[in-house]
Structure 1
């Protein structure tokens, strides 16, 4: 069997990569030794950046609708035998994203990704299948050779692939086979975890809680459908007792002891386990520019900040579009080298943040200001919202025409109005994950003849260079009533003989300033002046370049540097 991409591991990281392959039509095989997707337990925290990513595949709103929003964080401590509430604080930083942190079982997110993948016939998922042997960098077009075996069959099958992704968790078979290892510290602490419906009079049970107690610290995470997850710190004796038969009553009784004098019992216990996770990192994310590691295969840490599933999906969200571009002839394989540079820096920050987070949750001497700063960091930089990729052939810093945007960072969202029907849209909603780059043209006041001429010249230049991998949008700050869609260049109202015009490429700014033709809310939000600018976004929504309306040649240079040419369009 020959495939373009072979993915080992059908967890969140592997399925996110599979979603890219499905959307872009890349022949892919995903294998996993499990019999099916996650049924209960495991990760449940979803960061706002992850919701933005899921929405770019058309499944974010469903996850957001079904999830539980963790809006408040309540801090409790036990002093002289009395349990007291120390503080209640916001568990999100409003305004950074149109979403906020929420919780939903990992299996339900995996199912939505599987539904997306199954809607395309180019990606196959094989369960009960394990890798047996691996050869890398063999001669020919298909440089990967892997032997696999399913539970039901004795026969060993051989798969030939152009690229291999190891998304197979902390005990990664692919990583071990490559001779790589995780390095770092092993935690001395044991934590038990269970999901159940709580029967309790503890007043903050539907808030995210951190409870510090001499018996052991406790984290409470409210879940969907009345469920609550409890993480409880275990001493060595209790951990050993739990490991004898994995009976959750031991954990439930300990939580009940910590929450006294409040009553606590667990009904409909769904899942329980114990973990002792190290804060460890693999410094090598790729080999031969053909084999790539992602997710827990490269970074392990505690689940206290709910980052594992999120960073894992963000890893392959970064990698997936690059693989697709190379395989479809839209870019040179050299862009794949940016994956390790960009995501290793994120992994290093994740492990360092987790060390601070563990101290914030467990430390007895940490002052309130430091602890609160760490908890605020969790909902901003640690969530992926402020991840900044360093300059490379994909991110080219230049100019300051959009003062509030940063090259290398994800494009934030603000509302605008559709020119055609006045419907409000978030700009980020337009940035669907199809493999296309996005060109946002802030055209300024189009009622001014000189500004309209600049936009027309830009559109003509895009057409002349045949930039077929671009999806272009126009955002202007004129009065919407003074602009006629049919007077605009065809780039912003593409026509199809079967479907007619695309009416969702031109948008007007909200609430123009007092001068009526000055920049409105969106222009001020992004720091764009009346002269406008162009913002080039990578397929993963990160800003690649910011320039003037006359800077189309700079965009052509970027595409040339990544190996694109007219023929690929």
Structure 2
């Protein structure tokens, strides 16, 4: 086999999950092939909800603001129900559809096709990633004698050009090679995942065969007053959920009876859905002549409890978890799956980490998927007009609600609880990875959960009380030391495969505090330090970017007096003026609060963030030995 057909990574599926994985590979220079059975990217329909954390992820690749500018922001959610006075529906309440302060982004909507276009444009600028459209895999094997050698192309996959609907092979696309070799395979190929089936794995769970929902995208003409707000309507006829989209497009979910669902499936005419919608909306009307997409689905939740095989083949997104689109979580959690995996693959392939870090993918993402499935059940129970899940064992959360008489007084109580959860923890902002190889624990070293982690590298979380180990860093404004420009600190943490070490130096105008910061810089830079070679290295993958955030009066600090580790010098670009920040009041509201937001102790601390912005370690300014020991746990071992 020629080198031309050998890849570091092969990704099956060019949907959002596959394209986030490809974006990581493009960013980090990994030779990658993406295989997609469709002839082109998504043109209409499918997912459309973007959560705050997903926008942060996209922004870490430089795409967030551009995508954010195109979205429709769902500011409010309205709850409607049948009125006892006139029989038609009336508004019960209007409330915020986001929790302020958790992110600089908020929940928004944009068609999946446009999101894919942005990701494809990014990937297209990097020649190391190649996409084969209209192509399907037919078989693959893992060569057992190469399985334990991560540097070898142990996976062999056979491909063929997909057939169009009329059975004719496409002649417009680059023909697929007969076979390719890869070091790693990532299956992002949806709920009917071919990769998962080849591994002999299955989704476990069930569908509710009496719970059907139709979906239409349309440009409506209506007198319904809240058509540009997110709405949940529970009427005597059935339930409807309205999601305003970009421009004047609206997505509408319509609960269907089994008979109506069968009628729609017999001819796929959207008029069947519009008839039910018209009955629910009375006394209001809605007509449309522009329906670019419609479909139907049966509510269900399924999960595969194995996300990888031999640490060579990985599954992400709908390939390992499926559920209803009620809370707009599917595309978001799928993209966050491959965001978690991508930097780890790149780190191994670039020799910056041992293959053992790949085991953390399932350890970290499976609990997220489990919580997603349980949350979707609660969301469905709150939205469906009839009781949801009568034939399943209710989860603990549902049992607690049923036992609370106050919940029975409010027909929207379960739904309001779910909406509150959706706008906080379920939005990905509170996703917290448990202690393990890439996250240090805090608390007593005698905890049975962490007996395999040396007590010498346990975090001192009391030094940054509001930074949660294993969770993405909260965002706040800081002032650039050099020009007083306000920055969202999260914006200084791009996804390049680089780790980020935030040094909270405290008031460095105090001689003792400055001495501690100087000693830390000297320790990190010492030739015998286990991390010195990683500090501000030219190759970002696996390197450590160091930042100083101090609380001293900015004008009393001179950048030139600080160690070079905080202002690295390049022959081509000169000093880096974007590594030192002051937690001072500036000319913009919201500045001067970083130490309070993060709960930083007066003596300061250092906070290590992973390449995916999740907190890995919190230590004192003198704890460089612990930092070194942390990295030594997963450094590359020669084969």
TM-score range for the pair, normalised by the shorter chain length = over 0.9
Does 1:526 find its partner at 2:598?
yes
Bigger Cα displacement from structure 2, 121-130 vs 445-454: 445-454
Report the CA distance between 1:131 and its aligned residue: 0.6
Does 1:537 find its partner at 2:623?
no
Task: Please give the alpha-carbon distance, in whole angstroms, between the structure 2 residues aligned to 1:15 and 1:102.
Answer: 20
Does 1:168 find its partner at 2:189?
yes
Does 1:72 find its partner at 2:76?
yes
Provide Cα deviations, 1:472-494, integer angstroms capped at 9, x if missing partner: 11100001100111111101111
SS in 1 for 2:219: strand
Task: Please give the alpha-carbon distance, in whole angstroms, between the structure 2 residues aligned to 1:363 and 1:522.
Answer: 45
Residue in 1 aligned with 2:124? 118
Residue in 1 aligned with 2:99? 93
Residue in 1 aligned with 2:567? 493
Task: Please give the alpha-carbon distance, in whole angstroms, between the structure 2 residues aligned to 1:351 and 1:299.
Answer: 8
Provide Cα deviations, 1:324-376, integer angstroms capped at 9, x if missing partner: 00000000000000000100000000000000000011155763333211110
Counterpart selection for 1:13 from 6, 12, 17 = 17
Report the TM-score, using the length of structure 1 for normalisation.
Answer: 0.96
Task: Please give the alpha-carbon distance, in whole angstroms, between the structure 2 residues aligned to 1:142 and 1:214.
Answer: 59
SS in 1 for 2:463: coil
Report the CA distance between 1:278 and its aligned residue: 2.0
Task: Please give the alpha-carbon distance, in whole angstroms, between the structure 2 residues aligned to 1:408 and 1:269.
Answer: 43
SS in 2 for 1:269: coil
Report the CA distance between 1:284 and its aligned residue: 0.4
Contact 2:553/2:584 (<8 A) preserved: no
Residue in 2 aligned with 1:377? 421
Does 1:56 find its partner at 2:60?
yes
Bigger Cα displacement from structure 2, 150-159 vs 385-394: 150-159
Contact 1:137/1:288 (<8 A) preserved: no
Provide Cα deviations, 1:117-155, integer angstroms capped at 9, x if missing partner: 111111111100001011024333111111011134788
Task: Please give the alpha-carbon distance, in whole angstroms, between the structure 2 residues aligned to 1:528 and 1:130.
Answer: 52
Task: Please give the alpha-carbon distance, in whole angstroms, between the structure 1 residues aligned to 2:600 and 2:176.
Answer: 62
Contact 1:277/1:300 (<8 A) preserved: no
Residue in 2 aligned with 1:515? none
Counterpart selection for 2:310 from 283, 288, 293 = 288
Contact 2:191/2:322 (<8 A) preserved: yes
Contact 2:132/2:176 (<8 A) preserved: no
Residue in 1 aligned with 2:248? 226
Residue in 1 aligned with 2:439? 395
Report the CA distance between 1:553 and its aligned residue: 1.3
Does 1:185 find its partner at 2:206?
yes
Does 1:144 find its partner at 2:144?
no
Report the CA distance between 1:564 and its aligned residue: 4.9
Residue in 2 aligned with 1:410? 472
Task: Please give the alpha-carbon distance, in whole angstroms, between the structure 2 residues aligned to 1:259 and 1:419.
Answer: 57
SS in 2 for 1:446: coil
Query: Can you give the 5+ residue segments of structure 2 that lack an aligned partner in the other structure?
Result: 147-151, 163-169, 388-407, 442-458, 535-542
SS in 1 for 2:123: helix
SS in 2 for 1:41: coil
Report the TM-score, using the length of structure 2 for normalisation.
Answer: 0.86
Provide Cα deviations, 1:273-325, integer angstroms capped at 9, x if missing partner: 11114200001000001000000000000000000000000000000000000
Counterpart selection for 1:43 from 38, 44, 47 = 47
Residue in 1 aligned with 2:271? 249
Taking the TM superposition and a 5 Å limit, the aligned residue runs for 1:72-471 are 72-80=76-84, 81-140=87-146, 141-151=152-162, 152=170, 157-188=178-209, 189-363=211-385, 367=410, 368-397=412-441, 398-399=459-460, 400-464=462-526, 465=529, 466-468=532-534, 469-471=543-545
Report the CA distance between 1:18 and its aligned residue: 0.4
Residue in 2 aligned with 1:516? none
Task: Please give the alpha-carbon distance, in whole angstroms, between the structure 1 residues aligned to 2:384 and 2:492.
Answer: 42
Contact 1:14/1:316 (<8 A) preserved: yes
Report the CA distance between 1:510 and its aligned residue: 2.8
Bigger Cα displacement from structure 2, 10-19 vs 136-145: 136-145
Task: Please give the alpha-carbon distance, in whole angstroms, between the structure 2 residues aligned to 1:139 and 1:34.
Answer: 34
Task: Please give the alpha-carbon distance, in whole angstroms, between the structure 2 residues aligned to 1:187 and 1:550.
Answer: 57
SS in 2 for 1:186: strand
